[in-house]
Structures are given as C-alpha cells and as structure tokens.
Amino acid sequence: MTTEEFSTLMNETFVKLVDVGISLGERILGTLLIYLIGRLLIKWINRAFARILEKRKVEVSIQTFLKSMVNILLVVLLILAIIGKLGVELTGFAALLASAGVAIGVALSGNLQNFAGGIIILLFRPYKVGDYIEADTGAAGTVREIQIFHTILVTADNKVVYAPNGAMSGSVITNYSNLDTRRIDFTVSVEYGTDFETVEKTLREIIAADSRIMNTPEPFIKLSALAASSVDVTMRVWVKSSDYWGVYFNMNQQIYAVFNKRNINFPFPQLTIHQG
C-alpha cells in the first residue's frame, strides 16, 4: 500500500468516525431531550389527571389507585420512546420480551397478585383512604394511599408501611373507622367491703360529666367478678369513633382522681396465712 493510498484510507476512516460520532451525538442529545420533555409531560399529565379526578369528586381511594396506574403507564411509554430514539428496534425488543415471557411472568407474579388485590380492595372496599385498620399480617395504621401494588399506611408513631395489596386483600382486616361509633370497655377493681351502689353512683357521675359519652346506647355498669383480691366492676360506654382514645384516657384519669377523693380504695394482692 502506497503512502497516498494509506492517507486516503485514513481520511475515509476519519470521515466515517466523525459521521458515526455526529449520529451518536444526535441520538444522545435527542434521547436527553426526550427524557427531559417526557418527564415534564408526565408531571403535567399527572397533575391534570389529578385535577380531573378531584373535579369529578372521585372517591379518594380510587384516585390514588388510578393516579399510580397512569404514572406507571406514562413512564413505560417514555422508556419505549427512549429505546426507539437510541436506535433499538422495538419489534426486536418486543420479540426479546416475548422470548423471556416465562421468566418475566414468574418474576412479576407477585406484582400481578398485588395488582389483582388492589382491584379487589377497590371493588369490595374493606377500607378506604383515611381509615385506621389492622390486618392479621401485622400491618396497622391509617390508610394514606391505595396504589396499584401497595397500600400505604401511616402508623400511630408516624412510620410509613407499604403493605402488598395481594396480602391485604386475602387477610382479615379490622376497620376501626368504618362505623361512626365505638364502645369502650373498662374494668374498675375495688377492694372487698366497698359498697357497690356507691361505686356505681360515682361512676355514673363521672360519665355524666363527660359530654362526649353518648346516652344512647345507655352506659352499662355491672358487678362482673369476685376476683381473688378485688371486686371487679365492668363499665361500658359508647362514643364517636373519633373520640375513642380521648375518652379512654380521660376516664381512667377521672376514675382514679375521684375514687381517691371519696376514699373508694383500689385493691392490692393479698395473701391470708392460717397457722395450725
């Protein structure tokens, strides 16, 4: 090869490399533009979709589910657009996914169950956004969102729990917020020899002083057990669900304070020893 031929070959190679570099640079820049514009569009569409749902007063639980599903679909479309811009043939990409369908199906089987569980939760509505629930899986808290794969709970001590919808739809759910009223049960123990009528009268006065306690159903006060070291009195009152814990703690405090003022004594363990 002569010097002139070598020089020509090098020039042609350089031109091709430049062309490839320019083409690759255009693809990379185009991909970045698609990504940036796509992210902005996704945010805009998500906000617009959320406003439409709110305007139509769609139930909050369904809103969170639909918004989660739309966001995932938009992200998938963006990924496909980026792959197409990079020059990957979508038909070939689809064929690759099809050939790996079994493996993907196994990998996503749990998520498919969670998706189906989310649909079941929305259809049968064992709980909704804002309810305080407890599942036999151990998850408990206030429902913040129902997404397509998970139910997001916030615990009483402000922890966020992501509970799979598949497990939630198949578990026993205790919903503490579904009904407007709840019953609070108290066991008040007094020492032997205490007059029951005095105890009952005092408890009814304490109940009457708290306007949050409902008159219907009527408060229940009965002597329930003669225990080893105490006489146990059962008291049951009904309150609004939102007032449950406030009344519960306040009543315990009031019972302790009033009983002490009126010399109604609380029991302590006693042991009687007989000497022969």
One digit per residue, the tens of pLDDT, for the chain of length 276 reads 566 665 666 666 666 766 666 666 677 787 788 888 888 988 998 888 888 888 887 777 778 888 888 888 888 888 878 777 776 665 655 555 555 555 545 555 667 888 888 888 888 889 999 999 999 988 999 999 998 889 999 999 999 999 999 999 989 999 999 899 999 999 999 999 999 999 999 999 999 999 999 999 999 999 999 998 899 999 999 999 999 999 999 999 999 999 999 999 999 876 666 665
* Predicted TM-score of the model (pTM): 0.64
Closest CA to 35 of 1, 78, 97, 92: 78
Fold annotation for 109-175:
SH3 type barrels. (2.30.30)
CATH 3.30.70.100 is right for the domain spanning 181-261: yes
Closest CA to 168 of 109, 108, 128, 223: 128
Cis peptide before 164 (omega within 30 of 0): no
Residues 99/102/108/110 CA torsion (nearest 10 deg): 180
DSSP letter assigned to residue 134:
E
Closest CA to 147 of 258, 56, 68: 68
Q: Are 64 and 146 in contact (CB under 8 A)?
A: yes
Task: Please state the φ and ψ torsions of residue 143, each to the nearest 5 degrees.
Answer: -70, 120
